[in-house]
Amino acid sequence: MRLRPLSLLATLAASHCSSGASDAGDGGGPSSGGDGSSSWGSPTTTVETPTTGAPATDTADVGTSGPDTSASTTDPTTDDTTASSGDDTTGGPALPDDEALLRQAIAGEADPGDALSTIAGRGGLPVATAGGTFLFACLCGPGGWNLAGAHNGWADAPMATTGPLHWIEAEVPAPDGSLYKFHGAADDAWIADPLGRRYGFDENGRYSLVRASAAHLERWYGLAGEGLEGRDLQVYVPQDGAFTHALYAHDGQNLFATEGVPWGGWQLQTSVPPQMLVVGVDNTPARIDEYTHVPDIIDKDPIGGEGEAYADFIDGTVRPRMEAAYGEAEVVGTMGSSLGGLIALVIADRHPDRYAMAISLSGTVGWGSITEHNETIIERYAAAPKRDFAVYLDSGGNGTCGDADDDGIDDDDPDAFDNFCENAQLRGVLEDVGYSEGVDLWYVHDVDAEHNELAWAARVGHALDLFASL
């Protein structure tokens, strides 16, 4: 047990973030706190970035449902549709039912929030019509809104309204790679499509894509399961949607965004090898509960222990939904940093025959021994037989390490940081049970590196290359 002079509870509260509609409106909502230097958790955020496609602006993305946050958050996992978003990257042609449903909403015959949520969980927005046009729609908020994009030279095309629904049917002669945004006339706000499927980032922030065959990002909304709160997914889709490897990564909000995230985020899209699908799973305000396999005590309050439910959610809800949309990979892994690194190891331990590799960057592998002495993942792996999945471990920091309180965990050097001692101990445990360095175990010590996204972004490329080699 390592003593810490600062209030861990305060730091923990600062590291919480939420998913979904909480990033609406002005980009507000929970944001990261602290300096990112704690050794057990990571500052995280869902604050969206300023969104402009061609024209620049300082207005933030409205998030998942626009300023009108009353829209339904229908769980897309309850729909048995396995087809796609209308191009080869996600499994086939657009769904006729999506066009019919959106036209019902336009006619005032269906609730627009329910309709958009259902479409966002199925084929995705914008909707390709049988006539070769595209239907764009959003609950953008009050005032007049326009569609602008590469297809019309970023000129405003006024959107019609049906109650709170703003919509337009437009011809897009070359939809593949065509950028678009919604432009609010009243306050000159430029926003990416709040429920759009495909997106990317440029120097002005987030933009939306009509269709895409080049490598790009896609967004899925409100997936829930195992009694856990719903959250969004950010998916990196490689060229032409072709992949051999799929990686399920945690703290999805921080993986791809280029602004409004701690330390500039991972910008993972710059590191992903060819033919690798990356599913970034957003965290929620219950991040610490969900990313830990046992409870521990921070200051005076017990917290944590929902990690196995989260592991089952990833394997039983998220993975089947993504495989239905994109297809199955030959090789599947899981990855995270800090507590996200811990939960990657928990997932592989709980479903050892389902994952070929667990990647843990600065993993909080001493969780359970901060104040309590519940079973750490170090002890869990020591007690298990050698499994077939590979493991990547790393950390920055440094320290002399030691087990002054004789609880079996080398976490009692007050000067050690970035989980260095605990990861070094886990490496030894893995070697003891039969893992071989350079074969199915890799350990990297980035001496004195800090505990933040900047450091993880610098190291993750090596981990991804190792995963790609499996």
Max intra-chain CA distance, the chain? 72
Query: Would you say 279 and 322 are in contact if contact means Cβ atoms under 8 Å apart?
Result: yes
Give the per-residue pLDDT at 299: 83
26 or 221, which is more confident: 221
- For residue 374, give both structure tokens: 């519940």
pLDDT tens per residue across span 445-455: 999 999 999 99
Helix, strand, or coil (residue 293): coil
pLDDT tens per residue across span 3-17: 343 334 433 333 334
Q: Which residues contact 320 (CB under 8 A, 6 or more apart)?
A: none
Tell me the angle at which helices 112-120 and 96-106 cross, rounded to the nearest 10 degrees: 160
Give the per-residue pLDDT at 19: 37
Query: Would you say 315 and 351 are in contact if contact means Cβ atoms under 8 Å apart?
Result: yes
User: Residue 126, preceding bond cis, omega within 30 degrees?
Assistant: yes
Give the per-residue pLDDT at 243: 98
| 426/444 Cα distance (integer angstroms) | 12
User: Considering only 89-98, 132-141, 364-373, 445-454, which range has the smallest mean pLDDT?
Assistant: 89-98
- Structural domains of the chain, with CATH: 48-196 (2.60.40.10), 216-468 (3.40.50.1820)
| 445/317 Cα distance (integer angstroms) | 34
Give the per-residue pLDDT at 204: 87
- Whole-model pTM? 0.86
Helix, strand, or coil (residue 467): helix
Give the per-residue pLDDT at 73: 32
| 30/45 Cα distance (integer angstroms) | 7
Band of residue 93 on the pLDDT scale cut at 50, 70, 90: low
Average confidence (pLDDT) over 50-74: 30
Mean pLDDT of the chain: 85
pLDDT tens per residue across span 395-410: 999 999 999 999 999 9
User: Considering only 13-22, 170-179, 347-356, which range has the smallest mean pLDDT?
Assistant: 13-22
Please identify which residue in the block is written with the tokens 């955020």: 45
Q: Which residues contact 19 (CB under 8 A, 6 or more apart)?
A: 46, 229, 230, 231, 232, 253, 282, 283, 284
Dihedral angle sign, alpha carbons of residues 249, 252, 258, 263:
negative
Query: Would you say 314 and 280 are in contact if contact means Cβ atoms under 8 Å apart?
Result: no
Q: Which residues pair with 289 in a beta bridge?
A: none
Helix, strand, or coil (residue 388): coil
Query: Would you say 33 and 14 are in contact if contact means Cβ atoms under 8 Å apart?
Result: yes
Please give the angle made by the CA atoms of 77, 81 and 86, to the nearest 5 degrees: 115
Query: Which helix (DSSP H) or strand (DSSP E) does residue 199 occupy?
Result: strand 198-202
Helix, strand, or coil (residue 198): strand
Give the per-residue pLDDT at 94: 60
